[in-house]
Amino acid sequence: MRQPRRQDAPSPSLRPTRLGLVFLGLILVTLVGCINYGLSLGYGVTFLLGGVWVATAAHATRAGRALGATLEAPAEVVAGTDAAFVARVSSSGPALTAVVRAGSGRRAASSTVHVPAGETATVTLPVPAPVRGSLTLTRPGVAALDPLGLWEVGRPLPAPAPLTVFPAPEANAPPPPPRPVASVGEGTGRTRGDEEFSGLRAYVPGDSPRQVSWRHAARTGTLLTRETDAPAGTALALDWAETAALPGTEARLSRLAAWVNAARRSGTPFRLTLPGVALPVGAGEAHARAALTALARHEPLPAPPAPSKKAVPRPPLPGAPLRFTLFALAVALAPAALRQPVWLTALIAGVLGYSAARTLRRLPAPPTLLLGLTAGLGIALLNAEYGTLLGREAGTALLGLLVALKAAETRTRRDGRLLALLGIFVTLTHFFFGQGPLAAAHAALSVLLLLAALGGWTGGTGSLRAAGVLALQAAPLAALLFLLFPRPDGPLWQLPVQDRARTGLADEITAGEFGDLAQSRAVAFRADFAGSVPAPWDLYWRGPVYEAYDGLRWTQVRARVPSPSVEFTGPSLAYTLTLEPSGKPWLLALDTPTRLPPGAFLTDAFQAVTPRPATGRTRYTFEGRRARLGVRESVERLNFDLRLPVGESPRARALAASWRTLQPDARVAAALEFLRRGNFRYTLSPPALPAHDRVDAFLFGTRQGFCEHYASAFAFLMRAAGLPARIVGGYLGGEPNPDGGYLIVRQQDAHAWTEVWLPGQGWVRVDPTAAVAPARVNADLPTALRQPTALAAPSPGGLDRVALRLDALQNRWNTWVAGYGGDQQRALLGRLGVGGVGSPLYLALGGGLLALGLLPALFAARVRYRPTDPAARLLDDLTRRLHLPRNPGETPTAYAQRAALKYPEQASAIVEAIRAYHNARYGSGRDARALSDLRAAVRRVRGQ
C-alpha cells in the first residue's frame, strides 16, 4: 500500500468551529444570568463548561500534531456529477476525527473521517462539477477535531492540478453516422486500428500491457510496443457538422461525447472534427481522452449555474446519537415534572418518546403545522395556568415545551447539536428553584450526558468516557474560577416577573394566617452568630409591621411622617442570615440593626427591607443593638395607631375603656392579666370567628386561638385603652443545631406580637401569646402546643439528632457552595491575606492559580501517544531515544533515512533497528524472539 507523502505544509492553526463559537456564546449567556440572579451553582456549571472549552482546545491541538493527509484527483469527471477526490488521512498518534474540505467556485464540499490510532483511513470528497471545462479546487485542507467538535486544528493540502470536466454524454444517443473515413484502397489507405500488425515503436507510459512485445523485451531489455492498423475505410468520422440539428452547443457536445465513448468501448478508430480543432484518426484510451478534452474545452465555455436553493434530500440521521441525545434531554428536563402541570409533563414525555420511536421505526415526522399548533395551544394553557408567561414557573415550563418540540422537528446533525446545547441551558434553569446537593448531582449528571451527546454527533467513539475525561480535566480550572471570579453584591437588572405565592409571611394578617404557617416545617432561614446565641426570649425576628385595621384584617401602611428617634442602649450583636427565597422584600432582623446588607434600608417602622427581593437562597450580614425606638414619634403616626373601626366589638371597647384611668404601664399589665386569668387556650385549630365583632367573639366567646388572634385582640384593647398599638409579624426563636453552631428558623416559628407606644419609653414589645402559653417563648411551638407552661424544649431524640447533622451539612453547603457570594469571597480572601478583589496580590495569586488550573489541559495537549502494538511501541521508544519524532504519515523506512542523515554516526544502528522492526511487525515469525531482537536493536541506538 502506498503511504501518504509527507506534508511540508504550514504549521497547523487552532481555531474554534461554528459549534465552538455557539458553545462559547452559551457560556457567556449563562455567566451573565448567574451574575444577575446570584446562582452560585450556575457559576460552577458555567465555569465547568468554560474549562471543557479550554480542555477541548488541548485535545484538538494534540490531534492536529498527529494529523497527516494527501488528496488525489479522480481519473475522469463528467459534467453534472461530483468529482470524487480521494483523501487519505493518517494519524501518527491517538484515534481522531478529521474533516477534509475543498471548494470549487461558490461550491464547497466536506467529508468527515474517523481515523484509528496510528492508522490511515480513506474518505471520498465529492466536489460538484456542474459544467464542462476546468475544475480547480480552492483552499483544500484537512482539520482534526476535538472529541466534542468545538475546536479544529487545520492545515492546507496541496491542491491537485486543475481537472478537466468532460461533457455529459447524451443518454440513449443514436449510433455514430455510418460515414467512414475516405480511403484510397487497401495497402495504402490504412489507419490506426486493431486488425493487423504494422510495426514496433518505443514504449510510452500508458500503453496497454497486451501491446508490449515481451519477447523482444526479454531479448534486448528494451520495452517496445506493437502497433496495429486497419483499413482506413473502417474508421469513424465524428464531425461537428453531423450535430447541426441539435439545439445549442451543449447538446451537440453531449452527442459527440456519447459517440466518442461508444467508439472507446468498441475500440473503433475515429477522427474528431470541431470548429478550429481536428484530431486525426486514432484509437485507444489516450486518443479518446484527447477527444473528450477537446470537447470539454470547446468555446464558449458555459457559465457555472448559481447554487440551487432547492431543498436537498437529507440522509436519515443516525439513530444512536439522536436516541442518546433525547435520553440526555429527558434527564435534563426531569426535575421540572415536580413543579409543572401534569398535562405538560405528559405532553413533553410523549413528544420525546415519539421522537425516539422514529429512530427505531419508520414513523412519519410530525408536520410543521402540527408542531406550531401544539406550541400555540401550550402557550395558551400555560398563560391560563400561571396568569403570565414570565417568571420562574411559567418561563421554565414554556422553555421545556419549546425544547421538546424542537426535538420533534430535528432533521440534521446541526439540530442534534443544538438540542444538546439547549439541554445544558435547561439544566441551569433548575437552579432558580433550588441549589442543594441533589440539584448539584442532577446538574453534574445532566451536563455529563449532554456533553457525551454532543460528542456523539461529532462521531467519536466512547463519547461518554471522553466527556468524563474532559470534565475531570476542566474541574481544577472550574474550581479556581468559582472561588476567585468576582461576585457582585447585586443583580445587573431586575425583571418584573410574577411567580406563584411562596410559603412565608403575608402582606396582611387575618385569622388563621400564622396557623397555616405553623403547619410547615420548611426552613425560613438559618442564623449564624459571631458570638453566643441570644436567649430564646430575645429571638424576635422582626418582619412586616401592620398598623391599619378594618375590623377584619391588619395591613401595612406607608406613613409620610418624620422619622422616629432611635436611642441605642445595648451591646452590639453580629450575625448572618441565610434566607430561603420568599419573594418578599423584607429582611428578618433582631433588635435594631446598626449595619444592614448592601442596598437594604430601615423603614420608619424599623423594618429592614431590600428593594430587590432575592430569587434564590441569599446570605445577609447584620449588626444590631438594643434600642429605645420612637421615644420621639410623630403625632400623625400615633393618632393613626389609635384608630379603630366604628362600632366594632363594643364589649372589648368597654373593657379597655375601664383601664383609661390607669397609668400606661398599668393598662398593659391589666390587659395581660385579663388574658392570663381568662382561661384562654393556645391552639392551631380555633373555632371560626364572625365577620363583625371578632374581638368580642374571641375574648368573651371562643377564647381559643393562635398568635395572630392574641396579637390582634391585644392591639385592639390597647387602642381602645388610649395607647397607640400595632402588630409586628416575624419569627420567634429557632432550633439550635449543636453540630453547626447556628439556629434553624422554620416556617412553623412564624409569630405575631404587639408593640405599644408608652410615653418616655417609645415602642415597647409586648407578646400577649406569652401570657397564655409561656412555652412559646421559652421553648418552641410543638412544646407550647403540648405543655403551654413549659420552661424549655425537650432534648432532641435520635432521629432528630441525625436530621440536625444533615442540616449542618446542608448549611455548610449553603454557605460555601450554593450561597457563595461576595461576602464569602471577601472573607476567604481576607483569611488568605490577599486583600480585596482587584488588588495586585489578588491578580498575581489569581493568575498563578489559574495557570495551575490549566495544567491538566496542557498535559493533555503535550502527552504523546503510545501505540498498543509491542513492535510499534518499541519503534516509538526509538524516536524518543533520538528526540526525533516521526512526521504524520512518515513510513519507518523514510524515518530511518531522515534519522541517519541527522545522526550519521549511528546510521547503521538505526537501519538495523528499522530492519528488526519490520521483521517483528510484518515478518512471518512474529514471536517473542523477534520482539527481543528489536528491543536489543533499539537499545544499541545511543540516546541523544
Closest CA to 427 of 501, 494, 333, 506: 333
- Answer whether residue 232 shows pLDDT above 60: no
Which residues neighbour 849 within 8 Å (Cβ) at sequence distance 6 or greater? 480, 484
Exposure class string for 780-792: b at 16+ Cβ within 10 A, else e: bbebbbeebebee
Question: Count of residues for the chain?
Answer: 944
Distance of CA 332 to the CA centre of its chain: 11
Q: What is the pLDDT of residue 186?
A: 40
C-alpha dist (Å) from residue 18 to 25, 54, 417, 451: 11, 15, 11, 16
pLDDT tens digit sequence for 694-705 = 999 999 999 999
- CB-based contacts of 869-876 (< 8 A; 24+ apart in sequence): 869/118, 869/921, 870/920, 870/931, 871/917, 871/920, 871/921, 871/926, 871/930, 871/931, 871/934, 872/118, 872/921, 874/917, 874/920, 874/931, 874/934, 874/935, 874/938, 875/917, 875/938
- How large is the average pLDDT for residues 491-495? 60
As given in the structure block, the three cell numbers for residue 342 are: 401534569
In angstroms, the CA 704 to CA 701 distance is 9
**Of 656 and 497, which is predicted with more confidence?**
656
Q: What is the pLDDT of residue 205?
A: 67
* Biggest CA pair distance of the chain: 155
In angstroms, the CA 774 to CA 772 distance is 6
Report, in angstroms and rounded to the nearest whole number, the Rg of the chain calculated over CA atoms: 44
In angstroms, the CA 387 to CA 704 distance is 38
Q: What is the pLDDT of residue 884?
A: 83
In contact, 727 and 752? CB cutoff 8 Å: yes
Q: What is the pLDDT of residue 642?
A: 96
Per-residue confidence at 896, pLDDT binned at 50, 70, 90?
confident
Side by side, the strands of the sheet bearing 163-166 are 77-78, 163-166, 133-135
In contact, 900 and 915? CB cutoff 8 Å: no
pLDDT tens digit sequence for 662-681 = 999 999 999 999 999 999 99
DSSP class per residue in 611-659 = SS--SS-EEEEEEEE-EEE-SS--HHHHHHTT---TTS-HHHHHHHHTT
As given in the structure block, the three cell numbers for residue 254 are: 453531449
Which range is least confidently modeled, 413-422, 764-773, 867-876?
867-876
Which range is least confidently modeled, 181-195, 585-599, 815-829?
181-195
Q: What is the pLDDT of residue 944?
A: 66
- How large is the average pLDDT for residues 229-255? 81
pLDDT tens digit sequence for 763-819 = 999 999 999 999 888 887 888 788 887 777 777 777 878 888 888 888 888 878 887
Q: N- to C-terminal Cα distance for the chain?
A: 33
Q: Which residue do the cell numbers 400555540 mark?
A: 376
Give the phi and the psi of residue 776 in degrees, each rounded to 5: -65, -25
Q: What is the pLDDT of residue 11?
A: 63
Model pTM? 0.77
In contact, 59 and 146? CB cutoff 8 Å: yes
As given in the structure block, the three cell numbers for residue 143 are: 482539520
Helix (H), strand (E), coil (C) string for 304-317:
CCCCCCCCCCCCCC
Q: What single-letter amino acid sits at 143? A: A
Which range is least confidently modeled, 58-72, 734-748, 841-855?
841-855
Helix (H, G, I), strand (E, B) or coil at 301: coil
- How large is the average pLDDT for residues 123-132? 90
Q: What is the pLDDT of residue 7?
A: 42
- CB-based contacts of 384-393 (< 8 A; 24+ apart in sequence): 385/341, 386/498, 386/500, 387/498, 388/498, 390/495, 390/496, 390/497, 390/498, 391/497, 391/498, 391/499, 392/432, 392/433, 392/497, 392/499, 392/615, 393/339, 393/340, 393/499, 393/500
DSSP class per residue in 530-553 = SSPPPPGGG-EEEEEEE-EE-SS-
C-alpha dist (Å) from residue 143 to 12, 414, 459, 658, 908: 9, 19, 15, 95, 37
Q: What is the pLDDT of residue 842?
A: 80
Q: What is the pLDDT of residue 315?
A: 60
In angstroms, the CA 714 to CA 723 distance is 11
In angstroms, the CA 84 to CA 307 distance is 19
Q: Compute, in degrees rounded to 10, the torsion defined by CA atoms 464, 467, 469, 475.
A: -140
Question: Which positions are catalytic?
Answer: 707, 751, 767
Handedness of CA 247, 250, 254, 260 (dihedral sign): positive
Per-residue confidence at 234, pLDDT binned at 50, 70, 90?
low
Average pLDDT, the chain: 85
Beta partners for residue 628, in sequence order: 567
Domain boundaries, the chain: 319-463, 508-798, 866-939
pLDDT tens digit sequence for 699-756 = 999 999 999 999 999 999 999 999 999 999 999 999 898 887 889 999 989 999 999 9
Closest CA to 701 of 714, 716, 689, 711: 689
Per-residue confidence at 308, pLDDT binned at 50, 70, 90?
low
Q: What is the pLDDT of residue 169?
A: 94
In angstroms, the CA 88 to CA 907 distance is 31
**Of 465 and 183, which is predicted with more confidence?**
465
Distance of CA 670 to the CA centre of its chain: 66
Q: Which residue do the cell numbers 415602642 mark?
A: 763
Per-residue confidence at 5, pLDDT binned at 50, 70, 90?
very low
As given in the structure block, the three cell numbers for residue 137 are: 479546487
Q: Which of 222-231, 429-438, 836-845 has the highest mean pLDDT?
A: 429-438
Which range is least confidently modeled, 161-170, 179-188, 566-575, 872-881?
179-188
**Of 431 and 823, which is predicted with more confidence?**
431
Q: What is the pLDDT of residue 180?
A: 62
